[in-house]
Amino acid sequence: MEAGGQPAAAHVSVILPVHNAEAWLDECLRSVLQQDFEGSMELSVFNDASKDKSMTIIEKWKVKLEDSGILVVIGGHDSPSPRGVGYSKNQAIAQSSGSYLCFLDSDDAMMPQRVRLQHEAAVRHPTSIIGCQVRREPPNSTERYTRWINQLASDQLLTQVFTSHGPTVVMPTWFCSRAWFSHVGPFDEGGQGVPEDLLFFYSHLRKGGGVVRVDQSLLIYRYHPKAATHSVLETTIWTHRVRFLEERALPHWAAFTIWNAGRQGRRLYRSLTAESRRKVVAFCDVDENKIKKGFYSYEDSEERPKPRVPILHFRAARPPFVICVKLAARFVVAGYTQQITDMDPRWQNSEENKPHRHPCRSLTLS
Q: Give me the pLDDT at residue 364, please.
A: 62
Give 292's contacts (C-beta < 8 A, 6+ positions apart): none
Please state, in angstroms and as integers, the Cα–Cα distance from residue 291 to each residue in 5, 11, 365, following that order: 75, 59, 21
> Which of 106-120, 295-309, 332-346, 351-365 has the largest mean confidence?
106-120
Any residues with CB less than 8 A from the CB of 274 and at least 6 apart, and which?
303
Task: Please give the DSSP secondary-structure letter assigned to residue 118.
Answer: H
| Residues 287, 234: Cα–Cα separation, whole Å | 27
Residues 220 and 109 sit within 8 Å (Cβ to Cβ): yes
State residue 52's pLDDT score: 96
If you average pLDDT over every residue of the chain, what do you get?
A: 87
- Which domains does the chain possess? 12-233 (3.90.550.10), 249-364 (no CATH)
Encode pLDDT of 115-131 as tens digits. Answer: 999 999 999 999 999 99
Q: For residue 310, say if its preceding peptide bond is cis, omega within 30 degrees of 0.
A: no
Three-class SS of residue 110? Answer: strand
The answer to whether residue 4 scores a pLDDT higher than 80 is no
Rounded to 5 degrees, φ, ψ at 217 are -80, 105
Q: Is the pLDDT of residue 269 over 80?
A: yes
In tens, the pLDDT along 195-228 reads 999 999 999 999 999 999 999 999 999 997 766 5
Residue 173, classed as helix, strand or coil, is helix
User: Residue 311 belongs to what H/E stretch?
Assistant: strand 308-313
Q: Which span out of 74-88, 162-176, 182-196 was modeled with the highest average pLDDT?
A: 74-88
- Contact criterion met (CB below 8 Å) for 127 and 51: no
Is residue 17 a contact partner of residue 46, using CB atoms and an 8 Å limit?
Answer: yes
Query: Would you give the DSSP letter of residue 167?
Result: S
* Residues sharing a CB contact under 8 Å with residue 275, sequence separation 6 or more, in sequence order: none
Q: Is the pLDDT score of 336 beyond 90?
A: no
DSSP result, 45-80: EEEES--SSHHHHHHHHHHHHHHTT-EEEEEEE--S
Q: Give a three-class secondary structure readout of 239-308.
A: HHHHHHHHHHCHHHCCCEEEECCCHHHHHHHHHCCHHHHCCEEEEEECCHHHHHCCEEECCCCCCCCCCE
Q: Considering only CA atoms, which of 35, 227, 129, 197 is closest in space to residue 43?
A: 35
The amino acid at 178: R
pLDDT at 295: 94
**Alpha carbon distance, N-terminus to C-terminus of the chain:** 52
pLDDT at 69 over 60: yes
Q: What pTM was computed for the model? A: 0.84
User: What angle is formed at CA 81 by the lines to CA 80 and CA 87, rounded to 5 degrees?
Assistant: 130
Please tell me the predicted confidence (pLDDT) of residue 360. 41
Q: Are 329 and 366 in contact (CB under 8 A)?
A: no
Task: Say what the pLDDT of residue 32 is.
Answer: 99
> Which residues have C-beta within 8 Å of that of residue 313, sequence separation ≥ 6?
284, 285, 286, 291
Indicate the burial class of 209 (C-beta count within 10 angstroms; 0-12, 13-18, 19 or more): middle
Contact 152, 146 (CB under 8 A): no
